[in-house]
């Protein structure tokens, strides 16, 4: 007897760079600034609210679309921040994390042969999910110079074809830390005007925009909102990435199709977590204070890096900082990240890992969603290079 041979749906996919670098960091006792999660806890009040929900018996299946109070609170938040009124009953769905929201949006909309434009470097779930749907990924690379990364909208427009079904955008952007602005959204709206192209807008870092700048949510742009799935994450906002709770907002006609897939790939989401989040969100202060909270960490980290041999790129959003290392080494990005982990004992992620073809730019990404003491230890080690 032998195990049948399985033809892979994703033959080019192996172990992610995040898993590899985290394992290498653990092996060498390195400060892990690679994978994007905090090393500090959430507000104890949030834990109390989840505990209260559990003890109150709220432990069975909630509605497939999400706990009504949570959906209502999400809709109220979006209306207050971005001025768009989503209907909580028909246009908001709670998901098992943002990645599930992204996956479900692609699976419900993309058919075999449809093209999906992905702007690279890109979060690593986009491209394989398009492939699972039978779609054709069409990649456009961001431009990068000393002023940082920017989207070449002329190239995005040139990539549009009669088969284009969706354009995926991400702001604030992982891994580059850049943000889109109103002018970017206006340009994108011009590209898709008069077409049936959908927008999938990954906005999980929406509350991490710095220096007084405003998050350019697709929800705030009427011409884009009417054709968009907008995704966000409670895990990123409230420092609970392991809870895997997110949400998507979309017009009712799009959401109806989204929910058809959602009900069969996850059905519904952890009940007491939803009730706890709904209660916690009644006070907007925690997410309104998040830009200042993370800007302080960003500034601490950037000030320290400025004293090293790395070259800083702008970090207008997210909790990631990209740096050039060409003044230090001519190793490839993956080789340099491994050397940094083994010899300097600070883990980073090569930005080349966010390109489908591993494009080299001599840039690595650090995560500064860490305790100040963690960042200081990393900076002490990096200063020795």
pLDDT computed for residue 260 by the predictor: 98
- Given 223, 256, 286, which residue is the final one in a domain? 286
| Residue 258 pLDDT > 90 | yes
| Residue 210 pLDDT > 90 | yes
Are 124 and 238 part of one and the same domain?
yes
- Given 286, 306, 323, which residue is the final one in a domain? 286
pLDDT computed for residue 19 by the predictor: 87
| Residue 313 pLDDT > 90 | yes
Please report whether residue 6 resides in a domain: no
- Given 250, 269, 286, which residue is the final one in a domain? 286
- The better pLDDT of the pair 237, 16 is held by 237
Please report whether residue 10 resides in a domain: no
pLDDT computed for residue 243 by the predictor: 96
Give the total number of structural domains in the chain.
2
In order, the DSSP letters of 8-44 are: -SSTT--S-HHHHHHHHHHHHT-EE-SSS--SS---H
Q: What is the mean pLDDT of residues 311-339?
A: 97
Rounded to a whole number, what is the largest CA-CA distance in the chain?
A: 65
Are 218 and 73 part of one and the same domain?
yes
Please report whether residue 96 resides in a domain: yes
Please report whether residue 356 resides in a domain: yes
Element (H, E) at 259: helix 252-265
**CB atoms inside a 10 Å sphere around CB 8:** 7
Q: What is the mean pLDDT of residues 144-171?
A: 96
Are 117 and 81 part of one and the same domain?
yes
Count of all residues that appear for the chain in the document:
385
pLDDT computed for residue 225 by the predictor: 98
| Residue 212 pLDDT > 90 | yes
| Residue 36 pLDDT > 90 | no
Q: Hey, which residues does 117 pair with through a beta bridge?
A: 138, 167
Are 66 and 90 part of one and the same domain?
yes
Q: Hey, which residues does 119 pair with through a beta bridge?
A: 140
| Residue carrying the six token digits 């702001």 | 171
Would you give the end-to-end CA distance of the chain in angstroms? Answer: 56
Are 167 and 304 part of one and the same domain?
no
Please report whether residue 5 resides in a domain: no
Burial of residue 238, with CB atoms counted within 10 A of its CB: 0-12 exposed, 13-18 middle, 19 or more buried:
buried
Instruction: Find the domain containing 49 and state its range.
Output: 45-286
**From CA 49, how far away is CA 52, in angstroms rounded?**
5
pLDDT computed for residue 175 by the predictor: 97
pLDDT computed for residue 35 by the predictor: 84
Looking at residue 315, which CATH number applies to its domain?
Answer: 3.90.1150.10
| Residue carrying the six token digits 């690279």 | 120
Please report whether residue 8 resides in a domain: no
Q: What percent of the chain has pLDDT over 70?
A: 100
Mean pLDDT of the chain: 96
Are 277 and 308 part of one and the same domain?
no
Are 27 and 50 part of one and the same domain?
no
pLDDT computed for residue 18 by the predictor: 84
347: Cα within 13 Å, side-chain hemisphere: 22
Rounded to an integer, what is the distance from CA 362 to the centroid of its chain?
A: 22
| Residue 1 pLDDT > 80 | no
Are 154 and 62 part of one and the same domain?
yes
Are 259 and 201 part of one and the same domain?
yes
| DSSP state for residue 44 in the 8-state scheme | H
pLDDT band at 146 (very low <50, low <70, confident <90, very high): confident
pLDDT computed for residue 132 by the predictor: 97
Give the tokens for residue 373: 């003491």
Are 271 and 176 part of one and the same domain?
yes
| Residue 27 pLDDT > 80 | yes
Please report whether residue 233 resides in a domain: yes
Are 105 and 31 part of one and the same domain?
no
Are 270 and 296 part of one and the same domain?
no
| Residue 331 pLDDT > 90 | yes
Please report whether residue 2 resides in a domain: no
> Phi, psi at residue 331, to the nearest 5°?
-65, 160
Element (H, E) at 347: strand 346-347
Looking at residue 274, which CATH number applies to its domain?
Answer: 3.40.640.10
pTM of the predicted protein model: 0.96
Q: Identify which of 365, 300, 369, 367 has the alpha carbon closest to the alpha carbon of residue 144.
A: 365
């Amino acid at each position: 007897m032998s195990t049948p041979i399985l033809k892979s749906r994703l033959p080019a996919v192996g172990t992610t760079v995040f898993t590899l670098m985290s394992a290498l960091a653990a092996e060498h006792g390195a400060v892990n600034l690679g994978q994007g999660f905090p090393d500090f806890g959430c507000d104890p009040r949030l834990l109390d609210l989840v505990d209260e929900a559990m003890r109150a018996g709220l432990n069975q299946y909630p509605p497939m679309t999400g706990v009504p109070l949570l959906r209502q609170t999400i809709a109220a938040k979006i209306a207050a921040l971005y001025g768009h009124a989503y209907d909580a009953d028909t246009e908001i769905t709670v998901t098992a994390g943002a990645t599930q929201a992204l996956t479900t949006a692609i699976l419900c909309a993309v058919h075999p042969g449809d093209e999906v434009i992905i702007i690279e470097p890109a979060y690593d779930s986009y491209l394989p999910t398009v492939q699972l749907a039978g779609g054709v990924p069409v990649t456009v690379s961001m431009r990068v110079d000393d002023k940082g990364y920017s989207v070449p909208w002329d190239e995005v427009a040139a990539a549009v074809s009669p088969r284009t079904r969706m354009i995926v955008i991400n702001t604030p952007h992982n891994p580059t830390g850049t943000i889109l602005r109103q002018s970017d959204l206006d340009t994108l709206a011009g590209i898709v005007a008069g077409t049936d192209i959908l927008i999938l807008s990954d906005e999980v870092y929406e509350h991490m925009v710095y220096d007084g700048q405003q998050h350019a949510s697709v929800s705030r742009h009427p011409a884009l909102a009417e054709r968009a799935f907008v995704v966000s994450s409670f895990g990123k906002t409230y420092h609970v990435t392991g809870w895997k709770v997110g949400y998507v907002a979309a017009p009712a006609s799009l959401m109806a199709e989204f929910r058809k897939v959602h009900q069969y790939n996850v059905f519904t989401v952890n009940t007491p977590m939803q009730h706890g989040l709904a209660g916690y969100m009644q006070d907007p202060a925690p997410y309104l204070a998040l830009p200042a909270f993370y800007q302080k960490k960003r500034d601490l980290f950037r000030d320290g890096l400025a004293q090293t041999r790395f070259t800083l790129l702008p970090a207008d959003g997210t909790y990631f900082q990209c740096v050039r290392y060409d003044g230090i080494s001519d190793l490839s990005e993956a080789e340099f990240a491994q050397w940094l982990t083994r010899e300097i004992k600070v883990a980073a992620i090569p930005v080349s890992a966010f390109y489908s073809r591993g494009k080299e730019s001599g840039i690595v990404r650090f995560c500064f969603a860490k305790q100040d003491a963690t960042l200081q230890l990393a900076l002490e080690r990096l200063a020795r290079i």
